[in-house]
Structure 1
Amino acid sequence: MKRYYNEIISVQSENVSEPSVHNHQQNREELNVDELPIDPAKRKNISNFHVNDREKVRRFYLQKGPCQPNMIFPWRMFGTKKRRFVLNWYKEHPSWLEYSVSEDSVYCLFCYLFKPKRGGQSGGDVFVTQGFTNWKEALKKFREHVGEDPNSIHKKCVKACQDLMHQNQHIELALSKQSTQSRLDYHTRLVATIDVVRLCLSQALAFRGHDESEESNKKGNFLTFLQFLADHNEEIKRVVLDKAPDNKKLTSPDIQKDVVNAMAVETTKIILSELGDDLFSILVDESCDISVKEQMVILLRYVNKNGYIVERFLGVVHVGDTTSLSLKFGVEELLQKHQLSVAKIRGQGYDGASNMQGKFNGLKSLILKDNPCAFYVHCFAHQLQLALVGTVRKHRKISMFFTQLNTITSVVAGSCKRQDLLRDKQTTEVIEGICSGQISSGKGLNQESTLKRAGDT
């Protein structure tokens, strides 16, 4: 690692006493980079992270790039004149200038990641902790912050970021010390892991089993599919599972999650690339996962380059409660994470719940206050459901039909013998119908099925 990078790390490490480091290690929780805030004003100081997590945090923000939302910026009064942040400033400083939506201020990404706790530059820590807001002197202060001296703190931080992200100092350097055959084996092992992950994702299958030990006969879908792939490919069999080094098996849950997250990021990039800078609508609904955590699902609806209306899944946001303010904050946070602006929204589609379409305090109304062009349309699927359920409940004969249907389902489903009798009767009627020409036959027709209890839909 380069000299200044080591200097910065040593300065930051000295700011933590030995007992506090020991206590921090004892109470340390595993870092989830997906939960790191995108808004620069909401980030905690880099020195407050555990020393073993700082490089991971730095890599995350460098790969993500500076937070540069495209929006209608608020005005500030400077004397008798109103001024605000100018969008073109991004183009003049594309690599480091960040804007905070919550504080209406700008920050420096590079200095946040690597600036040591000492002064010596224009603005002090204003571009790191406080946030710069003097739009009247913005261009001048930006130039002073960068500095003309090649040894300015900002430029040293830029160099430290370049050194950190330089691949030759990390993975590739370690791999280059190995033989060509070792690198080829690692590549084969990685491709096999990725293929199995893609298979599990495409079929919506669970990855892990309850017992993944060597003696287990049911190790989970991931290891089972990887073993199956190895049994039918000698090249893969030679390098995976028990043939791989202990620290390079690429089968741990962490590796699986990393590959899944990488696929999710690449898929989202394709969606955002297809959307470009065009207008879009959002579809939002609430749901609970299997762990009974309240979640909000957000989809984008837009017209693609071929002129077709498409709907694309953008993400799932965990919300502490389902109040309209919490939902609005979740929507804005996810859009900001993907560099999308609320000002680009031209439509909203939700169900009829009061916290969603409420006239005064619903999510619809809160977004309309920020963007009057984001017209609300009641979700058609929910409208159809409400209409059908309301019609059925008020029509006496149909209501009695579903009541009797539920009774029959409960009686038949409660006994395996009764289910067998029903299947036999159905088979006899299907055969008679086919022979008489009343029922047509073909692929996918006349499948044997089971009874399911009727719901509201």
Structure 2
Amino acid sequence: MGSMAKRGINLDGFLKKQKRAENDFDDYSEDYCEADETSSPGTSTSIDIDTNDGSSDNRGLNYNSATITGKLDEIRDPAKGTEGVATRFYEGYGPYQPRCHYPLDSSGRHFCFQWYSQFDWLEYSPSVNKAFCFVCRVFGRTSKQHEAFVSTGFQKWKSALEKFRAHQSSAAHKTAVLTWKTAQRTRNNPETNVVTLVNYQKKKEVDENRQYLKNIVETLIFLGRQGISLRGHCENNESLNKGNFLKLLAFRAKDNQLINQFLINKEKGVTYTSHGIQEELLDIIGENMTDSIIAEIKSAGAFALILDESLDISRHEQAAVVLRYVNPEFAIKERFVGFFRAVQTDGESLYQLVQGVLSKFKLSIDHIVAQCYDGAANMRGIYKGVAARIKKDNSKAIYIHCNGHILNLVLVDAAKTVTAARNTFGTVAELHNFMEASAKRHAVFEEMQKESGSKMYTLKGLSDTRWACRAEALKIIVKRLDELVMALQKIADEDPSCGAQAQSLLNSICTFDFIFNLVVLNEVFSITKYCQSIYNMLMCLYVLHGAKSML
């Protein structure tokens, strides 16, 4: 009887314990499972979990009866592993700490959310019902001793507090916590981040390099715009004159700290002033300018082609290409787009060269409305000239003889048919050849100009193709006729070797016919020079009509 009573008491106690467990279990039951929508990075997430009846053992107790359903933050679930957890930390997220109904284990125990406040590194995985260490997962090293808190998860709830405290006291965890706290301060204050400081220094160096390179480009553009050569004959450290480019940079370094650091003090180890870099930068500048010009031409929709060939200093034939168009403001623009090597100068070769240039700039030959060349047969030939070949492809591309050339040719031929003009220009040519062929005779002419207190001039020669030179030659003789007469008189009196030639020229220029023709031709050619420099044909006709009336 006593034995039965004892067993009855034990049975009553067991039933009471079972009832309390079931009541505790029911207190956590909810109708759905959903992540807290108001949670933000850096805060723990509260989650509710549905409970469903599961299997029970022979004692009638439900174990592992909670089934996780609904919306969960599966990405942050620690059971998913350590991949991406560091990224989410720097995005502002902390340990994953859902507050929900936690399933019971076989001993009737479960995870308690109160542990979150005791161990701020603790996180829980609803999918596997296990606890993890957030700090060790992000900043720790995986070891067999702490593998449960990093990868496999901890589930022995009976000894949870003991194991949590032991893990918290471990050296590996303390090292991870120290790293965690440092990372938190860095995340909240990015300016103290070593990576940020390194990036800032790197960005500063890049900005300084770009600014210094900009100064170099500005110097190159200035020299190029002024038509000044860049390099010197010797640019080593012992040279007293290293060329215009380096000397100009050195001059700018006096009030430009960045150039002084790179070029003078050589603090950066590079100067970006080698010949190769100069040429590369000049090519880039030229390409940008050409691209801008071509963009304007394409916007205009139509253009005229101007082309002329000549020999360069290395005796290579080259073609200079100029494109003429009207911009949106109706202003006429003539843009030089480059020199191009011409292997041959026949009509077919130059036509192929023009096609290659247009193809390079992606311009269509159909958009040419006019073409302007000199009077050479290979350019203006009616059958095989460049003008005829282009007009065959585009009938709208009318050929126009260069107005400057054609006016000069007319003036030259007209002067040859008029005896007085022909003789005057012959005397002018002889004066130039006589005075400039000898430095001694040129010095006598300069001496006469100095004695009269006049501005120094040099006699100019004549040319059938350079129309401006005839006007310049006549103008100088008109202005310095007195000094020229005195110079010839002195040479005739004192120089026995060429005195006779000087006397002959002196007799020629002292006649009324020469002086009269000189003054008239000077007026005519000064007007025609002006006409060759303006675009408006009506204005040219007006000027010529006024000159005719005056004469």
TM range (shorter): 0.5 to 0.7
Deviations 1:411-436 (A, max 9, x none): 3334555434433433565x6xxxxx
TM-score using structure 1 length: 0.54
State the secondary structure of the residue aligned to 2:253.
helix
- Quick one: structure 1 residues 184 and 449, their matched pair in 2 at CA, closer, same or farther if it must change by over 3 Å? farther
The residue number in structure 1 matching 2:311 is 288
State the secondary structure of the residue aligned to 1:239.
helix
Distance 2:311 2:265 in 1: 39
- Quick one: structure 1 residues 244 and 322, their matched pair in 2 at CA, closer, same or farther if it must change by over 3 Å? farther
Deviations 1:84-110 (A, max 9, x none): xxxxxxxxxxxxxxxxxxxxxxxxxxx
Deviations 1:118-165 (A, max 9, x none): xxxxxxxxxxxxxxxxxxxxxxxxxxxxxxxxxxxxxxxxxxxxxxxx
The within-5 A match list for 1:24-423 is 179-241=202-264, 243=266, 245-246=268-269, 248-275=270-297, 276=299, 278-416=301-439, 418-423=441-446
- Residue identity opposite 2:462 in structure 1: A
The residue number in structure 1 matching 2:458 is 450
State the secondary structure of the residue aligned to 1:292.
coil
State the secondary structure of the residue aligned to 2:224.
helix
- Residue identity opposite 1:454 in structure 2: L
Distance 2:419 2:409 in 1: 17
Conserved in 1, the CA contact under 8 Å of 2:212 and 2:258?
no
- Quick one: structure 1 residues 354 and 244, their matched pair in 2 at CA, closer, same or farther if it must change by over 3 Å? farther
Conserved in 1, the CA contact under 8 Å of 2:249 and 2:259?
no
The residue number in structure 1 matching 2:16 is none
- Quick one: structure 1 residues 307 and 330, their matched pair in 2 at CA, closer, same or farther if it must change by over 3 Å? same
State the secondary structure of the residue aligned to 2:262.
coil
- Quick one: structure 1 residues 451 and 372, their matched pair in 2 at CA, closer, same or farther if it must change by over 3 Å? same
Conserved in 2, the CA contact under 8 Å of 1:315 and 1:334?
no
Q: CA deviation at 1:286?
A: 0.6
The structure with the largest alpha-carbon Rg is 2
Conserved in 2, the CA contact under 8 Å of 1:319 and 1:330?
yes
State the secondary structure of the residue aligned to 1:219.
coil
Distance 2:331 2:285 in 1: 25
Deviations 1:58-93 (A, max 9, x none): xxxxxxxxxxxxxxxxxxxxxxxxxxxxxxxxxxxx
Distance 2:350 2:320 in 1: 10
Q: CA deviation at 1:338?
A: 1.2
Q: CA deviation at 1:193?
A: 1.1
By relative contact order (CA 8 Å, sep 6+), the higher-ranking structure is 1
Count of matched residue pairs: 267
TM-score using structure 2 length: 0.45
- Residue identity opposite 1:348 in structure 2: Q
Conserved in 2, the CA contact under 8 Å of 1:188 and 1:236?
no
- Residue identity opposite 2:409 in structure 1: L
- Residue identity opposite 2:459 in structure 1: L
Conserved in 2, the CA contact under 8 Å of 1:185 and 1:239?
no
- Residue identity opposite 2:247 in structure 1: T
Distance 1:344 1:331 in 2: 13
- Quick one: structure 1 residues 213 and 449, their matched pair in 2 at CA, closer, same or farther if it must change by over 3 Å? same
Conserved in 1, the CA contact under 8 Å of 2:391 and 2:398?
yes
Distance 2:455 2:213 in 1: 41
- Residue identity opposite 1:380 in structure 2: N
Distance 1:449 1:181 in 2: 57
Conserved in 2, the CA contact under 8 Å of 1:323 and 1:355?
yes
The residue number in structure 2 matching 1:24 is none
- Residue identity opposite 1:385 in structure 2: N
Conserved in 2, the CA contact under 8 Å of 1:188 and 1:239?
no
Q: CA deviation at 1:351?
A: 0.8
- Quick one: structure 1 residues 241 and 388, their matched pair in 2 at CA, closer, same or farther if it must change by over 3 Å? farther
- Quick one: structure 1 residues 241 and 357, their matched pair in 2 at CA, closer, same or farther if it must change by over 3 Å? farther
Distance 2:262 2:217 in 1: 15
- Residue identity opposite 1:356 in structure 2: M
Q: CA deviation at 1:371?
A: 0.9
Q: CA deviation at 1:455?
A: 2.4
Deviations 1:269-301 (A, max 9, x none): 222222215111111111122222111111111
State the secondary structure of the residue aligned to 2:309.
strand
The residue number in structure 1 matching 2:87 is none
Q: Using the aligned pairs only, state the percent identity.
A: 32
Distance 1:292 1:198 in 2: 28
- Quick one: structure 1 residues 387 and 176, their matched pair in 2 at CA, closer, same or farther if it must change by over 3 Å? farther
Conserved in 1, the CA contact under 8 Å of 2:307 and 2:372?
yes
Conserved in 2, the CA contact under 8 Å of 1:189 and 1:240?
no
Distance 1:451 1:401 in 2: 15
Distance 1:375 1:421 in 2: 53
